[in-house]
């Protein structure tokens, strides 16, 4: 008897409006506690796959089951509660520049109704993990690229999700920063968090091992 996969992707095709087929017939299962690298050239469909898992986009055909829930058919009112279980790290950061580092990380907790000292403690713990504790009052715009990247990570993990989807978390970072971040991910993984990390960086994948899924022109190569 094998454990039920955390994520089950079967024969998924995604065609964007305009007809471009970003993903063709992808099938993939991911077990709880796995750390999976998603790789492929620019435009291969990595971001699209992550968005499908997080129900940000819907599959054109096939189905995606996450935690026993059919993501493609999920009703609108259920979406927020589904997303709260997922830590999302966006390729384009999606930080809010009109508020402090602290408030950016507070946002997911606030949305879930965690407030006061409880929330502040958790925000500081998350900032501490990514080494930004001394910058909590800063505006994100004053942070370096690597620091912004880490801020995204803090925001993704502050609500302690069991699944983290990281879209190119080490892009544009020099090697030392990239390694910092990867070490952090490995530490999460060691405490049981399932991670899917998309990246171009083959060296990084080789260094950290783990499972690798390669996409090319929307097709699964390995």
Partner 1 sequence: MKAWLAHHLHSLKIAAEQFRGAPVATLFTLLVIGVAVSLPAGLYALLSNLERAAGGVKPQAEVTAFFKEVDEARARALAASLKKRADVAEVLFVSKADGIKRLEAAGLADVAVGLPENPLPHTLVLTPRETTPVALEALAAEVKANPDIERVLVDSDWIKRLAALMQLGRDLVGMLILVLGAALAAITANTIRLQIYARKDEIEVARLIGATDRFIRRPFLYFGGIQGLVGGLAGWLLVIVAGLLLENSVAQVAAAYGSQFHLAGLSLQETGLLLLFSTALGWLGAYFAVGRALREHD
Ligand X SMILES: Nc1ncnc2c1ncn2[C@@H]1O[C@H](COP(=O)(O)OP(=O)(O)OP(=O)(O)O)[C@@H](O)[C@H]1O
Q: How far is CA 136 from CA 129, 145, 190, in A?
A: 13, 16, 27
Stretch that binds Mg ion, among 83-91, 92-100, 144-152, 176-184 (CB under 5 A): 83-91
CB of 81 to partner 1, least distance (A): 7
DSSP-derived secondary structure letter, 5 = P
CB of 47 to ligand X, least distance (A): 3
Question: Smaller CB distance to ligand X: residue 19 or 113?
Answer: 19
- The DSSP string of 153-203 is HHHHHTT--SEEEEESTTTT--HHHHHHHHHHHHHHHHTT-EEEEE-S-HH
| Under rule CB under 5 A, residue 159 binds Mg ion | no
| Under rule CB under 6 A, residue 20 binds ligand X | yes
Exactly one of 48, 170, 189, 194 binds ligand X (CB under 6 A); that residue is: 48
Strand order across the 194-198 sheet: 86-89, 163-167, 194-198, 35-40, 211-216, 219-220
Question: Smaller CB distance to partner 1: residue 76 or 137?
Answer: 76
Backbone angles phi, psi at 145, to 5 degrees: -55, -45
CB of 115 to Mg ion, least distance (A): 34
CB of 43 to ligand X, least distance (A): 4
Task: Provide the binding-site residues for ligand X, judged by CB under 6 A.
Answer: 16, 18, 20, 22, 40, 42-48, 91
């Amino acid at each position: 008897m094998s454990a039920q996969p955390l994520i089950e992707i079967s024969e998924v095709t995604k065609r964007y409006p305009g007809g471009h087929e970003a993903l063709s017939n992808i099938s993939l299962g991911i077990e709880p506690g796995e750390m999976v690298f998603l790789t492929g050239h620019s435009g291969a469909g990595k971001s699209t796959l992550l968005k499908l898992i997080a129900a940000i986009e819907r599959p054109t055909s096939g189905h995606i089951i996450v935690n026993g829930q059919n993501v493609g058919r999920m009703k609108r009112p259920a979406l927020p509660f589904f997303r709260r279980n997922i830590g999302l790290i966006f390729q384009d950061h999606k930080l809010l520049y009109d508020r402090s580092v602290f408030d950016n990380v507070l946002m997911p907790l606030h949305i879930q109704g965690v407030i006061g000292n409880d929330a502040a403690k958790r925000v500081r713990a998350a900032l501490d993990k990514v080494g930004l504790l001394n910058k909590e009052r800063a505006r994100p715009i004053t942070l370096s690229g690597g620091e912004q990247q880490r801020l995204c990570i803090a925001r993704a993990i502050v609500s302690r999700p069991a699944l983290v989807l990281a879209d190119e978390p080490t892009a544009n970072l020099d090697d030392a920063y990239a390694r910092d971040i990867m070490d952090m991910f490995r530490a999460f993984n060691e405490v049981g968090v399932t991670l899917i990390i998309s990246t171009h960086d083959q060296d990084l994948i080789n260094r950290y091992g783990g499972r690798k899924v390669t996409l090319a022109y929307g097709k699964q190569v390995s």
